[in-house]
Protein backbone atom coordinates (compact mmCIF):
# COMPACT_ATOMS: atom_id res chain seq x y z
CA UNK A 1 0.00 0.00 0.00
CA UNK A 2 1.15 3.56 -0.69
CA UNK A 3 0.35 6.75 1.17
CA UNK A 4 -1.34 9.57 -0.70
CA UNK A 5 -1.49 13.03 0.87
CA UNK A 6 -4.73 14.82 0.04
CA UNK A 7 -4.34 18.59 0.25
CA UNK A 8 -7.30 20.95 0.28
CA UNK A 9 -7.34 24.49 -1.05
CA UNK A 10 -7.10 25.72 2.55
CA UNK A 11 -4.00 23.57 3.11
CA UNK A 12 -2.37 24.93 -0.02
CA UNK A 13 -3.23 28.55 0.69
CA UNK A 14 -1.61 28.12 4.09
CA UNK A 15 1.62 26.85 2.46
CA UNK A 16 1.93 28.84 -0.78
CA UNK A 17 1.57 32.56 -1.34
CA UNK A 18 2.63 34.98 -4.04
CA UNK A 19 6.04 35.90 -2.70
CA UNK A 20 9.64 36.06 -3.92
CA UNK A 21 10.26 32.40 -3.09
CA UNK A 22 7.40 31.41 -5.38
CA UNK A 23 8.66 33.72 -8.12
CA UNK A 24 12.13 32.16 -7.80
CA UNK A 25 10.60 28.66 -7.98
CA UNK A 26 8.82 29.47 -11.24
CA UNK A 27 11.92 31.20 -12.60
CA UNK A 28 13.89 28.01 -12.03
CA UNK A 29 11.30 26.10 -14.08
CA UNK A 30 11.89 28.51 -16.98
CA UNK A 31 15.65 28.07 -16.59
CA UNK A 32 15.38 24.28 -16.70
CA UNK A 33 13.43 24.47 -19.96
CA UNK A 34 16.52 26.04 -21.49
CA UNK A 35 19.25 24.07 -19.73
CA UNK A 36 17.95 20.55 -18.97
CA UNK A 37 16.29 17.70 -20.91
CA UNK A 38 12.80 18.55 -19.69
CA UNK A 39 10.05 16.23 -20.90
CA UNK A 40 6.94 18.31 -21.59
CA UNK A 41 4.31 16.96 -23.99
CA UNK A 42 1.89 19.23 -25.86
CA UNK A 43 -1.12 20.53 -23.96
CA UNK A 44 -4.17 18.25 -24.06
CA UNK A 45 -7.14 20.50 -24.70
CA UNK A 46 -10.90 19.91 -24.63
CA UNK A 47 -13.32 22.62 -25.80
CA UNK A 48 -16.98 22.63 -24.84
CA UNK A 49 -18.33 25.57 -26.88
CA UNK A 50 -21.96 25.02 -25.86
CA UNK A 51 -20.99 25.98 -22.30
CA UNK A 52 -18.28 28.49 -23.25
CA UNK A 53 -15.92 26.07 -21.56
CA UNK A 54 -12.46 24.64 -21.99
CA UNK A 55 -10.26 22.15 -20.15
CA UNK A 56 -6.47 22.01 -20.38
CA UNK A 57 -4.27 19.18 -19.14
CA UNK A 58 -0.58 20.01 -18.63
CA UNK A 59 2.37 18.05 -17.30
CA UNK A 60 6.17 18.00 -17.34
CA UNK A 61 9.08 16.05 -15.91
CA UNK A 62 11.93 18.27 -14.68
CA UNK A 63 15.28 16.48 -14.26
CA UNK A 64 16.52 16.68 -10.70
CA UNK A 65 13.01 16.89 -9.22
CA UNK A 66 11.71 13.68 -7.63
CA UNK A 67 8.06 14.21 -8.59
CA UNK A 68 6.04 15.45 -11.54
CA UNK A 69 2.60 17.02 -11.71
CA UNK A 70 -0.39 16.43 -13.97
CA UNK A 71 -2.73 19.41 -13.88
CA UNK A 72 -6.37 19.53 -14.98
CA UNK A 73 -7.55 23.11 -15.47
CA UNK A 74 -11.16 23.86 -16.52
CA UNK A 75 -12.30 27.33 -17.51
CA UNK A 76 -16.03 27.87 -17.95
CA UNK A 77 -16.49 31.56 -18.63
CA UNK A 78 -20.28 31.79 -18.24
CA UNK A 79 -20.07 30.45 -14.68
CA UNK A 80 -20.26 33.91 -13.04
CA UNK A 81 -23.82 34.17 -14.37
CA UNK A 82 -24.56 31.10 -12.23
CA UNK A 83 -22.75 32.48 -9.21
CA UNK A 84 -19.80 30.14 -9.80
CA UNK A 85 -16.11 30.90 -10.43
CA UNK A 86 -14.86 30.77 -14.02
CA UNK A 87 -11.77 28.75 -13.14
CA UNK A 88 -11.08 25.73 -10.98
CA UNK A 89 -8.92 22.64 -11.20
CA UNK A 90 -6.64 20.20 -9.41
CA UNK A 91 -3.18 18.71 -9.63
CA UNK A 92 -1.87 15.19 -9.14
CA UNK A 93 1.72 14.72 -7.98
CA UNK A 94 3.39 11.43 -8.89
CA UNK A 95 6.78 9.97 -8.10
CA UNK A 96 9.26 10.41 -10.95
CA UNK A 97 10.89 7.14 -9.82
CA UNK A 98 7.94 4.79 -9.44
CA UNK A 99 4.97 6.59 -10.99
CA UNK A 100 2.99 6.14 -7.78
CA UNK A 101 0.57 8.87 -6.76
CA UNK A 102 2.05 10.93 -3.92
CA UNK A 103 -0.46 13.71 -3.49
CA UNK A 104 -3.80 14.99 -4.73
CA UNK A 105 -3.80 18.80 -4.64
CA UNK A 106 -7.42 20.00 -4.63
CA UNK A 107 -6.51 23.64 -5.16
CA UNK A 108 -9.52 24.79 -7.22
CA UNK A 109 -7.08 26.53 -9.56
CA UNK A 110 -5.28 28.43 -6.77
CA UNK A 111 -1.81 27.06 -7.61
CA UNK A 112 -2.33 27.79 -11.31
CA UNK A 113 -3.32 31.36 -10.48
CA UNK A 114 -0.26 31.86 -8.29
CA UNK A 115 2.24 30.30 -10.70
CA UNK A 116 0.77 32.32 -13.58
CA UNK A 117 1.21 35.54 -11.65
CA UNK A 118 4.71 34.49 -10.64
CA UNK A 119 5.53 33.89 -14.32
CA UNK A 120 4.46 37.46 -15.06
CA UNK A 121 6.85 38.69 -12.37
CA UNK A 122 9.67 36.63 -13.90
CA UNK A 123 8.99 38.16 -17.32
CA UNK A 124 9.08 41.68 -15.88
CA UNK A 125 12.20 40.93 -13.84
CA UNK A 126 14.12 39.98 -16.99
CA UNK A 127 12.55 42.18 -19.66
CA UNK A 128 11.13 45.38 -18.14
CA UNK A 129 13.35 48.37 -17.42
CA UNK A 130 14.73 48.28 -13.86
CA UNK A 131 13.11 51.65 -13.10
CA UNK A 132 9.71 50.74 -14.59
CA UNK A 133 7.13 52.38 -12.35
CA UNK A 134 3.98 52.98 -14.40
CA UNK A 135 1.77 49.97 -15.11
CA UNK A 136 -1.22 49.35 -17.37
CA UNK A 137 -3.37 46.36 -16.44
CA UNK A 138 -5.72 45.15 -19.16
CA UNK A 139 -8.52 43.16 -17.53
CA UNK A 140 -10.01 43.32 -14.07
CA UNK A 141 -10.39 39.72 -12.90
CA UNK A 142 -8.49 37.53 -10.48
CA UNK A 143 -5.35 37.29 -12.61
CA UNK A 144 -5.32 41.06 -13.14
CA UNK A 145 -5.16 41.43 -9.36
CA UNK A 146 -2.45 38.82 -8.91
CA UNK A 147 -0.33 40.13 -11.77
CA UNK A 148 -0.17 43.55 -10.16
CA UNK A 149 0.76 42.08 -6.79
CA UNK A 150 3.47 40.03 -8.49
CA UNK A 151 4.89 43.08 -10.28
CA UNK A 152 5.21 44.86 -6.93
CA UNK A 153 7.71 42.15 -5.92
CA UNK A 154 10.14 42.86 -8.76
CA UNK A 155 9.73 46.49 -9.88
CA UNK A 156 9.25 49.87 -8.09
CA UNK A 157 5.63 50.36 -9.15
CA UNK A 158 4.39 53.90 -8.53
CA UNK A 159 1.09 54.15 -10.42
CA UNK A 160 -1.40 51.85 -12.12
CA UNK A 161 -3.99 52.35 -14.85
CA UNK A 162 -6.57 49.64 -15.43
CA UNK A 163 -8.93 49.07 -18.34
CA UNK A 164 -11.45 46.28 -18.85
CA UNK A 165 -14.39 45.90 -21.24
CA UNK A 166 -16.70 46.29 -18.23
CA UNK A 167 -16.01 49.76 -16.80
CA UNK A 168 -17.75 48.89 -13.55
CA UNK A 169 -15.31 46.04 -12.98
CA UNK A 170 -12.43 48.42 -13.69
CA UNK A 171 -13.76 50.77 -11.05
CA UNK A 172 -14.06 48.02 -8.46
CA UNK A 173 -10.57 46.82 -9.31
CA UNK A 174 -9.11 50.30 -8.90
CA UNK A 175 -10.80 50.82 -5.56
CA UNK A 176 -9.78 47.43 -4.21
CA UNK A 177 -6.17 47.47 -5.39
CA UNK A 178 -5.55 51.07 -4.32
CA UNK A 179 -6.64 50.05 -0.83
CA UNK A 180 -4.41 46.97 -0.89
CA UNK A 181 -1.27 48.50 -2.39
CA UNK A 182 0.67 51.66 -1.61
CA UNK A 183 0.18 53.33 -4.99
CA UNK A 184 -2.66 55.07 -6.89
CA UNK A 185 -4.80 52.92 -9.19
CA UNK A 186 -6.96 54.62 -11.82
CA UNK A 187 -9.79 53.07 -13.83
CA UNK A 188 -9.70 54.20 -17.46
CA UNK A 189 -12.61 54.54 -19.84
CA UNK A 190 -10.56 53.36 -22.82
CA UNK A 191 -7.47 51.30 -23.50
CA UNK A 192 -5.63 54.19 -25.16
CA UNK A 193 -5.68 56.14 -21.90
CA UNK A 194 -4.53 53.11 -19.90
CA UNK A 195 -1.59 52.44 -22.21
CA UNK A 196 -0.40 56.04 -22.50
CA UNK A 197 3.09 56.32 -21.01
CA UNK A 198 3.04 52.84 -19.45
CA UNK A 199 6.39 51.22 -18.65
CA UNK A 200 4.80 47.78 -18.23
CA UNK A 201 1.49 46.48 -19.58
CA UNK A 202 -0.04 43.15 -18.64
CA UNK A 203 -2.96 41.67 -20.58
CA UNK A 204 -5.12 39.24 -18.62
CA UNK A 205 -8.29 38.73 -20.67
CA UNK A 206 -9.81 35.84 -22.69
CA UNK A 207 -10.30 38.23 -25.64
CA UNK A 208 -10.67 36.73 -29.11
CA UNK A 209 -9.73 40.01 -30.83
CA UNK A 210 -6.61 42.15 -30.42
CA UNK A 211 -6.75 44.77 -27.69
CA UNK A 212 -3.23 46.20 -27.93
CA UNK A 213 -2.41 47.67 -31.33
CA UNK A 214 0.65 49.24 -32.93
CA UNK A 215 -0.43 52.69 -31.77
CA UNK A 216 -0.09 51.63 -28.14
CA UNK A 217 3.61 50.78 -28.45
CA UNK A 218 6.22 53.33 -27.41
CA UNK A 219 9.93 53.27 -26.52
CA UNK A 220 10.77 51.49 -23.28
CA UNK A 221 7.48 49.58 -23.01
CA UNK A 222 7.36 45.99 -21.85
CA UNK A 223 4.21 43.90 -22.42
CA UNK A 224 3.44 40.59 -20.76
CA UNK A 225 0.60 38.84 -22.57
CA UNK A 226 -1.12 36.28 -20.33
CA UNK A 227 -4.48 35.61 -21.91
CA UNK A 228 -3.79 33.87 -25.22
CA UNK A 229 -3.73 30.25 -24.06
CA UNK A 230 -6.02 28.93 -26.80
CA UNK A 231 -6.04 29.13 -30.57
CA UNK A 232 -8.93 31.58 -30.73
CA UNK A 233 -7.63 33.98 -28.08
CA UNK A 234 -5.72 37.07 -29.19
CA UNK A 235 -4.85 40.16 -27.11
CA UNK A 236 -1.90 41.60 -29.09
CA UNK A 237 -2.28 42.51 -32.75
CA UNK A 238 0.05 40.73 -35.19
CA UNK A 239 1.39 44.13 -36.31
CA UNK A 240 2.37 44.94 -32.71
CA UNK A 241 4.18 41.59 -32.43
CA UNK A 242 6.09 42.43 -35.61
CA UNK A 243 6.95 45.92 -34.37
CA UNK A 244 8.48 44.84 -31.04
CA UNK A 245 12.25 45.08 -30.61
CA UNK A 246 12.30 41.71 -28.85
CA UNK A 247 9.60 39.02 -28.79
CA UNK A 248 10.09 36.41 -26.05
CA UNK A 249 7.88 33.42 -25.23
CA UNK A 250 7.60 30.66 -22.66
CA UNK A 251 7.72 27.72 -25.12
CA UNK A 252 8.11 28.27 -28.83
CA UNK A 253 6.37 25.03 -29.79
CA UNK A 254 3.30 26.18 -27.84
CA UNK A 255 3.05 29.80 -28.96
CA UNK A 256 3.27 28.78 -32.61
CA UNK A 257 -0.01 26.94 -32.06
CA UNK A 258 -1.95 28.97 -29.52
CA UNK A 259 -0.08 32.08 -28.38
CA UNK A 260 0.04 35.62 -29.70
CA UNK A 261 2.72 34.44 -32.15
CA UNK A 262 0.17 32.04 -33.63
CA UNK A 263 -1.88 34.97 -34.91
CA UNK A 264 1.16 36.80 -36.28
CA UNK A 265 2.05 33.65 -38.21
CA UNK A 266 -1.50 33.35 -39.58
CA UNK A 267 -1.37 37.01 -40.62
CA UNK A 268 1.80 36.31 -42.60
CA UNK A 269 3.88 38.77 -40.56
CA UNK A 270 6.11 36.11 -38.97
CA UNK A 271 7.51 33.02 -40.66
CA UNK A 272 6.09 29.81 -39.18
CA UNK A 273 9.61 28.41 -38.80
CA UNK A 274 11.18 31.56 -37.37
CA UNK A 275 13.38 31.01 -34.32
CA UNK A 276 12.19 33.03 -31.33
CA UNK A 277 13.77 33.50 -27.93
CA UNK A 278 12.32 31.65 -24.95
CA UNK A 279 12.27 33.30 -21.53
CA UNK A 280 14.34 30.47 -20.08
CA UNK A 281 17.09 31.25 -22.58
CA UNK A 282 17.17 34.86 -21.40
CA UNK A 283 17.34 33.74 -17.77
CA UNK A 284 20.13 31.26 -18.53
CA UNK A 285 22.13 33.90 -20.39
CA UNK A 286 21.81 32.09 -23.73
CA UNK A 287 19.96 34.92 -25.50
CA UNK A 288 19.59 38.65 -24.87
CA UNK A 289 16.37 40.14 -23.60
CA UNK A 290 16.12 43.92 -23.28
CA UNK A 291 19.26 45.56 -24.64
CA UNK A 292 18.45 49.25 -24.29
CA UNK A 293 16.05 51.45 -22.34
CA UNK A 294 14.14 52.24 -25.53
CA UNK A 295 13.55 48.62 -26.55
CA UNK A 296 9.94 47.46 -26.84
CA UNK A 297 9.68 43.94 -25.42
CA UNK A 298 6.77 41.51 -25.57
CA UNK A 299 6.62 38.29 -23.55
CA UNK A 300 4.04 35.77 -24.74
CA UNK A 301 3.13 33.42 -21.86
CA UNK A 302 0.79 30.51 -22.53
CA UNK A 303 1.53 28.55 -19.34
CA UNK A 304 3.62 25.39 -19.17
CA UNK A 305 3.53 22.05 -17.45
CA UNK A 306 7.02 22.85 -16.14
CA UNK A 307 5.54 25.66 -14.04
CA UNK A 308 2.87 23.30 -12.72
CA UNK A 309 5.40 20.68 -11.64
CA UNK A 310 7.52 23.39 -9.99
CA UNK A 311 4.68 24.90 -7.95
CA UNK A 312 3.13 21.53 -7.07
CA UNK A 313 6.39 20.09 -5.73
CA UNK A 314 7.02 23.25 -3.70
CA UNK A 315 3.50 23.14 -2.27
CA UNK A 316 3.75 19.44 -1.43
CA UNK A 317 7.10 19.85 0.33
CA UNK A 318 5.85 22.76 2.39
CA UNK A 319 2.57 21.04 3.27
CA UNK A 320 4.27 17.83 4.41
CA UNK A 321 6.82 19.85 6.35
CA UNK A 322 4.00 21.69 8.13
CA UNK A 323 2.04 18.51 8.85
CA UNK A 324 -0.90 19.54 6.69
CA UNK A 325 -3.20 17.35 4.60
CA UNK A 326 -5.04 14.08 5.01
CA UNK A 327 -3.11 10.84 4.65
CA UNK A 328 -4.96 8.25 2.58
CA UNK A 329 -3.72 4.67 2.18
CA UNK A 330 -4.16 3.76 -1.47
Residues 6-27 have a mean pLDDT of: 96
Domain boundaries, the chain: 3-111+306-329, 121-303
Question: Which pLDDT score, from 0 to 100, does residue 2 have?
Answer: 76
User: Over the Cα atoms of the chain, what is R_g?
Assistant: 19
Mean pLDDT computed over 81-102:
94
Reply yes or no on domain 121-303 having CATH 3.30.70.1350: no
CATH number assigned to the domain covering 3-111+306-329: 3.30.1780.10
Percentage of residues in the chain with pLDDT exceeding 90?
90
Spell out a b/e string for 136-175, using b for 16 or more CB atoms within 10 Å of the CB, else e: bbbbbbbbbbbbbbbbbbbbebeebbbbbeeeebbeebbe
Q: What does the pLDDT read at residue 31?
A: 98
Cα–Cα distance measured from residue 108 to residue 60, given in angstroms and rounded to the nearest whole number: 20
Model confidence over 267-282: pLDDT tens digits?
Answer: 999 999 999 999 999 9
pLDDT for the residue 94? 98
Residues 206, 216: Cα–Cα separation, whole Å? 19
CA distance 179 to 35: 41
The count of other CB atoms within 10 Å of the CB of residue 106 is 17
| Short-list 137, 154, 148, 201, CA closest to 24 | 154
Contact 102, 316 (CB under 8 A): yes
pLDDT > 70 fraction of the chain, expressed in percent and rounded: 99
Cβ contacts of residue 28 below 8 Å, gap of 6+? 310
Amino acid sequence: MSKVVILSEADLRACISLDKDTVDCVEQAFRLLATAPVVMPPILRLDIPQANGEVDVKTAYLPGIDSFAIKVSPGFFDNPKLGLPSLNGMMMLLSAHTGLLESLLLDNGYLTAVRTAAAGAVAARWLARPDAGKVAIIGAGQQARLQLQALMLVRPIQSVAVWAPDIEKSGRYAEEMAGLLSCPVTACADIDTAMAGADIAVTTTPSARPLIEERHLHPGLHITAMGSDAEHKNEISPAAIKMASHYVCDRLSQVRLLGELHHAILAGLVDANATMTELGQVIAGQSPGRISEDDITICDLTGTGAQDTAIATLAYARAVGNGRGFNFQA
